[in-house]
Every structure is written in C-alpha cells, then in structure tokens.
C-alpha cells in the first residue's frame, strides 16, 4: 500500500453537491510512488458509480487503484499502483478503524481534526513503507499516549511487546498457580425435512483456551484427530501454540446422526381445537446426559387455552413468539419422552396459509464429542521450567438444529 487517506463526506441531499464539500483530512504517504493529486479523482469516480447504482470497493484511475471503506462520516482510502493484496489492505483499513475508535471512542471528522498529532504518530507505527507493522492498540498505547507525547520509557527503550514474537502478550506476567483450561467444543448443525430425512448435518468444532501461565510459555497440544488419521494414517497431531483465546476451529462435512430425534403429530378437530404430540429420543450413548434441553414447537398464531402433559420436564406457551417451549433439565442418552399440547382455535380459515416454522432444539452434552477428538497431552515449555496443570472439558452442543414438520 502506498498511501492512506482520511476523507470527510458531508451528507449530500442533491447530487449536485459541490466537490468542495469533500476534503482530505489527513494523508500519510508511505512509499512516495503515487502522486498526491491522485486522490482528487476518488470522489469523482465514487459519485459516478453512485449515480449508476454500482458502487465498487475498488476503483481505478489510470494505473492507480483506490481501495476504500466508509465509517461514520469518513472515507478511509488506500492508494496503490501495484498488484497489492486486497484482503491485506482491507484488513488494515478495518484495523485502523478499530485502533482509532479505541483511542478516540468515536471515529469521525471531529476526532481526526482534534487529534492530528496522535493520528500521524499512529499511522507511522501502524505501517512501515507500505507494510503493516504494529496494529495492536494495547501495545500502541504503551508508547503513544492520548496527548500525542511518547512515554519517557519509549525514549530509551521500545516496549517489550513490540519486539516479542507474540505481540499480544506482555512480558513479566506472573501467576501464583499456573493452569490451563481447555474447552473442546463441537456444535452440531442439523436440518431434517418434513419426511424425516436428514437434509444436511455437520460439526463446527473449536478448541478454546483460558491460560493462567507465567512468563512466555510455548504450548504443545497433542490431539487424536480421527479424521486426520483417516486421511493421512497418522494417529496423532501436534499443534504448537503461544497463548491466544481460540486455538483452532474447523468445520467437518461428515454426516452426523441427529443426537436428539424429534417426531411430531398434529391433529385438528372440527376447526375448534388442535392437539400436538411431540416425541423426543436421545440418540447418543447411554452413559451421556444432555443438559438444559429446550424443544421449541411452533403453534398457530391465534391459538389459546393451552393445556400440557409431559412425561418429563415442563412445557409453557410463549404467545409473543407463537411457541411451546418444552424444557428438560436432564435428558439421558437412549431415553424417550413425550409431550402433548392442546389448544383452542377461535378462527381457522387462514391456518393452511400460515405455514409451519421448523421445530428447533437446544442442548448441551458435557464430556462428549461426536467426532471422538481427544486431547492426548499438553506440554508447557517455559524457560523457568515450572509445572502447570491442564484442565480439559469436552462439550457437544446444538448449533442450527432444525426439524421441519408437516402442517
């Protein structure tokens, strides 16, 4: 990226608003290979595209390309005459918005005008000769203050976080007890059609860490990834990691059997009442238990006089959402439960036109994963040689879990 511009945009009521209402607030020239006057073509191109109803995030004038985003009453524009990495440029522009918002609370024309010194200092630190450099606001705040004056320590020593291999963690962190909490979470997405066929199912998995470790440790995490083994023949995989909140996320296209299967029967009687029977079955191993299960069953919008009977848990009518919510605190695997609901229907003429939203299910199964992934080991390597205790928790939960029914 050659240059970064902040431009103001006064809201235009008429398309004839003069170009003088648009001005360059601040500009940082990183390479000097794009003429300063090129930015004048940006708004002309933008107005032309707006009039044509086709606004593109990348615009060109000759061999100069404008990559831009809009925030509040500002346009942030990057110019380049090279075949630059557009994704990197946009990531940098959005990072600019994040950093300046954390500094000034509100990023708008007035905050730029009131903080020119700080803005220039930040632009100098955020990028060097067209390449992103330090973009973490917490690190920047260690040596660029709100007043635009550098801290005394910065005159003699650059903050250690700038030169660390891990930029988001400061040195000198100490805990009385060194621990790592690991959550292996799998979210199950399921869509079942009205005929009971599974249309789609997948797993979205993530490994999340909460670390309370002193110093600058390196973590080595060993997994028994079944899918990796199927593809490569390797029994285990090792991941090197240096302390962030989320270690890994993946999506598995593997077809997954619905863990809680729902069947429903709806009966209407003489256009005066409707009865709904819902059967729920736990299709996971008997040793496991699903907690806080909620089965949400849609009902006609004008239903009234609800009556319920459940073999376990309790059901309640939520009229503002046209739902019956059947709550089961503890649902063991292999078990089957029933819920019956009875409603009066004062008017039924348009019920066939309403359609029926799907039944949705929410649940959480601790100490269980569908894929069978396991943490085999965790090694913590730190120069002081301390020992740390890892705690591992496995959770399977519902994601977008929908079962369509016949109306």
3-state DSSP call for residue 365? strand
Q: Tell me where in the chain the CATH 2.60.40.1170 domain(s) lie.
A: 179-256+370-402, 260-367
Q: Tell me where in the chain the CATH 3.30.450.60 domain(s) lie.
A: 14-141
Q: Per the CATH hierarchy, to which homologous superfamily does domain 179-256+370-402 belong?
A: Mu homology domain, subdomain B (2.60.40.1170)
Length of the chain: 407
| Secondary structure, 3-state, 31-97 | CCCCCHHHHHHHHHHHHHHHHHCCCCCEEEECCEEEEEEEECCEEEEEEECCCCCHHHHHHHHHHHH
Q: How many CB atoms lie within 10 A of CB 8?
A: 18
Long-range CB pairs of 62-65, under 8 A, 24+ apart, other chains included? 64/34, 64/38
Q: Which residue intervals of 296-383 are DSSP H helices?
A: 351-354
Describe the strand order of the beta sheet including 22-29 as a list of residue ranges.
Answer: 22-29, 3-9, 74-80, 64-71, 58-61
Kindly compute the dihedral angle of the four CA atoms of residues 211, 212, 215, 218, in this order, to the nearest 10 degrees.
-30
Both structure tokens of 398: 């519902």
pLDDT at 9: 43
Residue appearing with tokens 């007043």: 147
Instruction: Say how far apart CA 401 and CA 296 lie, in whole Å.
Output: 11
Half-sphere exposure of 319 (CA within 13 A, CB side): 6
Both structure tokens of 325: 């919510």
pLDDT digits (tens, 9 = 90+) for 171-197: 778 889 999 999 999 999 999 998 889
3-state DSSP call for residue 293? strand
pLDDT at 234: 55
pLDDT at 264: 93
Residue appearing with tokens 């390196």: 218
Measured CA distances, 76 to 5, 69, 135, 250, 288 (Å): 6, 5, 16, 33, 53
CA 80 to chain centre: 30
Q: What is the pLDDT along the chain (407 residues), one digit of tens a residue?
A: 666 666 554 332 232 233 445 678 888 888 888 888 888 888 889 888 888 888 888 999 998 999 999 988 888 999 988 888 888 889 999 999 999 898 888 888 888 888 888 888 888 888 888 788 888 777 787 778 765 443 343 444 455 545 555 555 667 788 899 999 999 999 999 999 988 899 989 898 888 888 888 988 888 888 886 655 554 555 556 665 555 556 666 666 667 889 999 999 988 877 688 899 999 999 999 999 999 999 999 998 888 899 999 999 999 999 999 999 999 999 999 999 999 999 998 765 555 545 678 999 999 999 999 988 888 888 888 888 888 888 999 999 999 999 997 65
pLDDT at 302: 85
**Is there a contact between 45 and 61 (Cβ–Cβ < 8 Å)?**
yes
Instruction: Say how far apart CA 138 and CA 170 lie, in whole Å.
Output: 10
pLDDT at 155: 44
Residue appearing with tokens 């929908």: 402
CA 171 to chain centre: 28
CATH fold, domain 260-367, is Immunoglobulin-like (2.60.40)
Number of H helices, E strands in the chain: 9, 22
3-state DSSP call for residue 258? coil
Residue appearing with tokens 């959005």: 94
CATH fold, domain 14-141, is Beta-Lactamase (3.30.450)
What backbone phi and psi angles, to 5 degrees, belong to 81? -115, 15
pLDDT at 403: 93
Instruction: Say how far apart CA 37 and CA 65 lie, in whole Å.
Output: 13
Q: Is the pTM of this model over 0.75?
A: no
Rounded to 10 deg, the angle between the 116-126 and 86-104 helix axes is 140
Both structure tokens of 164: 């660390």
């Amino acid at each position: 990226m050659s240059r970064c511009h902040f431009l103001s945009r006064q809201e235009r009521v008429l398309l004839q608003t003069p170009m003088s209402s648009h001005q360059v607030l601040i500009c940082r020239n990183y390479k000097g290979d794009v003429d300063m006057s090129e930015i004048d073509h940006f708004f002309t191109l933008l107005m032309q595209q707006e009039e044509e109803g086709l606004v593109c995030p990348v615009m060109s004038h000759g061999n100069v390309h404008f990559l831009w985003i809009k925030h509040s009453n500002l346009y942030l524009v990057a110019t380049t005459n090279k075949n630059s990495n557009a994704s990197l440029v946009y990531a940098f522009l959005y990072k600019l918005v994040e950093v300046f918002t954390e500094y000034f609370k509100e990023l708008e024309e007035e905050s730029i005008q009131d903080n020119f010194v700080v803005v220039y200092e930040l632009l100098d630190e955020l990028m060097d000769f067209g390449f992103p450099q330090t973009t973490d606001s917490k690190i920047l705040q260690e040596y660029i203050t709100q007043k635009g004056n550098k801290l005394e320590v910065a005159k003699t020593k650059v903050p250690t976080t700038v030169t660390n291999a891990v930029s988001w963690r400061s040195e000198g962190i100490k805990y009385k007890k060194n621990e790592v909490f690991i959550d292996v979470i799998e979210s199950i997405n399921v869509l079942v059609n009205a005929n009971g066929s599974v249309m789609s199912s997948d797993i979205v998995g993530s490994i999340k860490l909460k670390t309370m470790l002193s110093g600058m440790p390196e973590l080595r995490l060993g997994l028994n990834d079944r899918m990796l083994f199927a593809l490569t023949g390797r029994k285990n995989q090792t991941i090197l990691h240096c302390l962030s909140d989320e270690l890994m996320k993946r999506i598995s296209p593997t077809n997954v059997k619905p863990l809680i299967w729902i069947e429903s029967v709806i009966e209407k009687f003489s256009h005066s009442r409707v009865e709904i029977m819902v059967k729920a079955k736990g299709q996971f191993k008997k040793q496991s238990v699903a907690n806080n299960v909620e089965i949400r069953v849609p009902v006609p919008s004008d239903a009234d006089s609800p009556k319920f009977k459940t073999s376990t848990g309790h059901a309640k009518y939520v009229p503002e959402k046209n739902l019956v919510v059947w709550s089961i605190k503890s649902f063991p695997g292999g078990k089957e439960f029933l819920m019956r609901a009875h409603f009066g229907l004062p008017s039924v003429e348009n019920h066939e036109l309403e359609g029926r939203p799907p039944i949705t299910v929410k649940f959480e199964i601790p100490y269980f994963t569908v894929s069978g992934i396991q943490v085999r080991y965790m090694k913590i390597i730190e120069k002081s040689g301390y020992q740390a205790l890892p705690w591992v928790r496995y959770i399977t939960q519902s994601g977008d879990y929908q079962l369509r029914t016949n109306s």
